[in-house]
Amino acid sequence: MHISEGVLSAPVLGVGAVLAAVGTAVGLKRLDYDRLMTVAILSAAFFVASLIHVPIGPSSAHLIMNGLLGALLGWAAFPAILTGLLLQAVLFQYGGLAVLGVNACDMAYPAVACFYLFRPLLRSTGRRRAVGAFCCGFFSVLFSALLTAVALEFSDEGFFAAAKILVAVHLPIMVAEGLITAMVVSYLAKTRPELLWGEVAR
């Protein structure tokens, strides 16, 4: 899902950078001192998750984990994802520095959106909470695919062509991330509930 350098036009890159800066500012403002360690660990998990490649379908697809970050961190997922993406760009040459803003928006805004969309479910207990977490993981990836397609709409590729392929390729990823998010959230709810409600309680 990382868009490479040299694909997007300057206005798209500019808009992406501005939106990413706004999201990061909000995320940092909402970031609580006590949750700094959680944010760092999840950022590291996001950074590493891109190395886990799911070998299904013709194109390249790897875990993203933005849904998990959204479900656990809310707005604080934004700086966590930006940091992860920055290091992926510098160390792995995934994406690039110029497209960092666009890539961060593509992956972080869906995470934040899912957090708010499924918050009622996440706040409840048992099966409902697991369903909420699954939806967080599933729809974050889906929305990310659609947002990436929107960004590509302004290059010579076109929205529908890109969206069709991106969504098809990421279907297995959506299911996998839904399951992972549901498992992690259920586990934490049982063992470390304070981690889950840190953001929600505010």
Spacing of C-alpha 152 from chain mean position: 18
CB of 120 to another protein, least distance (A): 25
State the number of binding residues for another protein (CB under 8 A): 56
Q: What angle do CA 22, 28, 29 make, to 5 degrees?
A: 90
Q: Which of 10, 29, 91, 202 touches another protein (CB under 8 A)?
A: 91
Q: Which is nearer to another protein, 39 or 100 (CB)?
A: 39
DSSP letter for 4, please: P
DSSP letter for 2, please: P
Q: With binding defined as CB under 8 A, does residue 56 bind another protein? A: no
State the sign of the Cα–Cα–Cα–Cα dihedral 159, 161, 164, 167: negative
Residue partners of 25: CB distance under 8 A and separation at least 6: none
102, 9 Cβ separation under 8 angstroms: no
Q: With binding defined as CB under 8 A, does residue 195 bind another protein? A: yes
CB of 160 to another protein, least distance (A): 12
Question: By the criterion CB under 8 A, which residues form the site for another protein?
Answer: 1-8, 31, 33-34, 36-41, 43-45, 47-53, 55, 58-62, 83-84, 87-88, 91-95, 148, 151-152, 155, 157, 162, 165-166, 169, 184, 191-192, 194-195
